[in-house]
Amino acid sequence: MNKGLYVVMGVSGCGKSLIGTALARALDIDFVEGDDYHSAENVRRMSSGIPLTDDDRAHWLRALAARLREAKDAGPGLVMTCSALKRSYRDVLRAGAGEVRFVFLRGPRALLAERIAGRRGHFMPPSMLDSQLATLEEPAPDEHAWVCDIRESPQDLVAALVARASA
For position 42, what pLDDT does the model report?
82
Can you tell me the mean pLDDT for 33-50?
83
- Split at pLDDT 50, 70, 90, the class of 119 is low
- Split at pLDDT 50, 70, 90, the class of 114 is confident
Provide the 3-class DSSP secondary structure of residue 156.
helix
Distances (CA, A) of 3 to 15, 30, 76, 121: 22, 10, 6, 32
- Split at pLDDT 50, 70, 90, the class of 132 is confident
Can you tell me the mean pLDDT for 18-42?
92
Class in CATH terms, 5-161: alpha beta
Residue 56's Cα: distance from chain center in Å? 17
Strands 5-9 vs 78-81: parallel, antiparallel or unpaired: parallel
Please report which helix (H) or strand (E) contains residue 86, including its range.
Answer: none
Contact 27/163 with Cβ under 8 angstroms?
no
